[in-house]
Structure 1
Amino acid sequence: MTGSEDRPSFRLAYVPGVTPDKWARIWNERLPDVPLSLTQVPAAGAVGVLLDGDADAGLVRLPVDRTRLSAIPLYTETTVVVIPKDHLVTAADEVTAEDLADEIVLHPLDDVLGWEERPPGRPAFERPATTADAVELVAAGIGVLLMPLSLARLHHRKDLTYRTVTDAPQSGVALSWPQDAHTDRVEDFIGIVRGRTVNSTRGRQPDPSSAGRKPAAGKQQAGKQQAGKQQTGGARRGGGTPRRKSGSGGGRGKPRRR
């Protein structure tokens, strides 16, 4: 991790479906002198943007190359199937992959679900170039489409709806940055996404100017007084039996004769 930053801003890339608004607002409140620059990038191009130095960090979809990038998983999204509003699937609140076995399931080239082979159901004649293109085909009644919930909301149309698919792969979102560029500004953003308070110093380098400082005179005097109180209290507790005053009646003597 480096010390103070030379760049005048912090550049954050994010992929479609991710909404950094909350974190951006907290950043602007905590670091008003360091502008936050937001850039949306395609999911497939996010790693390249980070490795090329075009962003300081990114909100990306997993997996990423852990040999070159650090990543903190943030959350995992629900997978849904996007369908026309009059589709038979809408009769259920959620479905399984087997329920889609007879459907033409579109598989766009920018798919982010990471199927081991291919999606369930019957494949289309050709793969759409983008998710947006696939959504248009769903609206035309050509097939259905599986995607993370955030993308379904991003590509919302009045004539389409969606249902949860309980056994489909899911997409995880992470904060990622190059391993050789873990800067103080990156650490600041890590603190924000992890919910650290503004006074937290976790992960930050200590201020070298504070090393070896002596406490102020007032603090020294207060420390001496506190130490004196502790010593006095110790003597009272363990310094021997206190001397009784004569005639105090503190001890038990022989009973008086009547």
Structure 2
Amino acid sequence: MELNGRPVTPQELAVLGLVGYGHFTSMRVERGGAVRGLSLHLARLIRDCREVFAIDLDTDHVRRLVRDAVGEVSEPMVARVTVFDPRLELGRPGAAADPQILVTSRKAPATPLGPLSLQSAVYARDLPRVKHIGLFGAMHQRAAAQRAGFDDVVFTTAESAISEIATSNIGFIRDGHLIWPHADVLPGTTMQLISQTRDEDVLVEKVTLADLDQFDAVIATNAAVGVRAVSNIDDTTWSTEHEMIEILRKQYESIPPEQI
């Protein structure tokens, strides 16, 4: 855990918990120190830093800090880059900011992971297009779903239009097409990479809970695990061995990673 390339102090970390204002990206670092979709992760950091702090971020500096923090990567890991200002005060979030770079890492999960069971909940994250650190609402909904016997939660509007999973995008498969929900969501790096590989086979449509029986299979996507099958939303179930799921997974994994 390093802040600007040095060990972070408890006092500096306290702002993340006590003020909770900042943004981040999490990337899967493969053996040898390469990241699939690295350019998209860096573009996200630039975009979100302008939105959150009104500052242009130096991504060359970010890359150097990540390289130094992860060192020699012998096993896949997940590196998280969090951008925040340790001097920020609760009463003055609009003050001139000096955002700093916190790099943390953890062991990456072995892939592919097993299927996800999802419970639907009416909820929308604050400012969905930004990958910000305000995760309480999403985690609360996830906790409620898990207490009810599900693995995770998928968000809907009051009119039952589906948007996203707590920390993943959701995609629907129908007649050989991949369909992303037309909704306010965080455009995930994995979602974007898959869309680029399939081009005309990718659609964006409004998807409601009433539409679920129209689909052949469902997937969840995020940078840490890639493509993961969804077994059910509420009481609607799908095959988790549909051929398109494996095709999408292999297409995603065939994308060359970029060196940090």
Q: TM-score, with normalisation over the residues of structure 2?
A: 0.26
Higher Rg of the two aligned structures: 1
- More strand per residue: 2
